[in-house]
Amino acid sequence: MKRVLITGAAGFLGSHLCDRFIKEGYYVIAMDNLITGDLKNIEHLSTNENFEFINHDVSEHISLDGKLDYVLHFASPASPIDYLKIPIQTLKVGSLGTHNLLGLSKAKGARMLIASTSEVYGDPLVHPQTEEYYGNVNPIGPRGVYDEAKRFQEAITMAYHTYHGVETRIVRIFNTYGPRMRLNDGRVLPAFIGQALRGEDLTVFGKGDQTRSFCYVDDLVEGIYRLLLSDYELPVNIGNPDEITILDFCKEIIKLTGTDQKIIYKDLPVNDPMQRQPDITKAQALLGWEPKINRADGLKITYAYFKTLTKEELTKVDHKNFDEYVK
């Protein structure tokens, strides 16, 4: 039985990857220090004999017994609310954490896939964004801690590939949504749905003319799985190119939830990208992958998930106190 280590396993994407690899017949070692992850995302796997959970910060030395075939590095704060509160931890998990996991992969002879991001493109001046675009990033802006952590992560991963011969894969993930997203993570989709469910006005930043492209989580996981098992070592965009303005998206959420709240406008955050749309030509050609679930269907599933949350979860403003994680 092949063994896979998934970091950030109690998070949104990590937990869905755990499900997929269990389904595919792998032994899954899930690792997370729960700084932004939540055990409830993987508790349904706790009794599975092919699943184990290790509470560990990958920024510290990692020791694992037994063979290891694959490593998927998905540990990182991924929402602006989080990485603005824990900027150094965000930088460390992308640098020290990646270094530790590459060392582990080298020692075990494992193939490693890293979760990079469309944020490596910054506020892009090229549209849509291809993998060859170098990006337009402010390294010292408030979002720079996340963007640059991911850019460094790509650089050290390629260095381990070229210098040490470690088998590596790089996925650049665009906006993704689905069940297990945190309602209070500050990203636009859970923010809109949360406001609608609580009966609050929906907040649009700027004029709402900035664009995003939303990919349903099952489609993303399929793309990641195909990339891991492919022979391609350079970055690949995985996302849904169906682009929409934030204002139009807000109107879709109002229609979906049947709410009658009004839209209110606030100032645009610093360095917030004005447009996001993946060019997925590479994924189509190399992996035979493209998204299958349209936004209307994906939103219905996601909304149904959010409606199952308790009143306490619905009204929780702060994710958690990060003091114990800040050293």
Q: What is the pLDDT of residues 122-135, one digit of tens each?
A: 989 999 999 999 99
Q: What is the pLDDT of residues 156-213, one digit of tens each?
A: 999 999 999 999 999 999 999 999 999 888 889 999 999 998 989 999 999 999 999 9
Q: What is the pLDDT of residues 41-69, one digit of tens each?
A: 999 999 999 999 999 999 999 999 999 99
- One-letter amino acid at 276 equals R
Just give the CATH number of 3-318: 3.40.50.720
Tokens, residue 294: 């349209």
pLDDT at residue 319, as a whole number: 65
Q: What is the pLDDT of residues 20-42, one digit of tens each?
A: 999 999 999 999 999 999 999 99
Compute the half-sphere exposure of residue 167: CA atoms within 13 Å on the CB side of its CA: 15
pLDDT of residue 278 exceeding 90: yes
- One-letter amino acid at 125 equals L
Compute the half-sphere exposure of residue 34: CA atoms within 13 Å on the CB side of its CA: 11
- Give dist(CA 111, CA 103) in Å, integer: 11
Residue in the block written with tokens 């899930």: 30
List b or e across 211-239, with b for residues whose CB sees 16 or more CB atoms inside 10 angstroms: bbbbbbbbbbbbbbbbbbeeeebebbbbb
pLDDT at residue 268, as a whole number: 81
Backbone torsions φ then ψ of 130, nearest 5 degrees? -95, 165
Using pLDDT thresholds of 50, 70 and 90, give the confidence band for residue 97: very high
Rounded to the nearest angstrom, the gap between the alpha carbon of residue 140 and the centroid of all alpha carbons in its chain is 22
The most distant pair of C-alpha atoms in the chain lies apart, rounded to whole Å, by 58
- The structural domains of the chain, with segments of one domain joined by +, span 3-318
Chain mean pLDDT for the chain: 94
Among 7-16, 191-200, 261-270, the minimum mean pLDDT is found in 261-270
Tokens, residue 193: 């749905």
Active site residue ranges: 146
Q: What is the 3-state secondary structure (H, E, C) of the chain?
A: CCEEEEECCCCHHHHHHHHHHHHCCCEEEEEECCCCCCHHHCHHHCCCCCEEEEECCCCCCCCCCCCCCEEEECCCCCCHHHHHHCHHHHHHHHHHHHHHHHHHHHHHCCEEEEEEEHHHHECCCCCCECCCCCCECCCCCCCHHHHHHHHHHHHHHHHHHHHHCCCEEEEEECCEECCCCCCCCCCHHHHHHHHHHHCCCEEEECCCCCEEECEEHHHHHHHHHHHHCCCCCCCEEECCCCEEEHHHHHHHHHHHHCCCCCEEEECCCCCCCCCCCECCHHHHHHHCCCCCCCHHHHHHHHHHHHCCCCHHHHHCCCCCCCHHHCC
Nearest to 130 by CA among 139, 138, 122, 121: 121
Evaluate whether 178 touches 138 at the Cβ level (below 8 Å): no
Mean local confidence (pLDDT), 282-293: 98
pLDDT at residue 307, as a whole number: 92
The larger pLDDT score, comparing residue 15 to residue 79, is at 15
Angle between helices 144-164 and 87-108 in degrees, nearest 10:
20
Q: What predicted TM-score, i.e. pTM, was given to this entire model?
A: 0.95
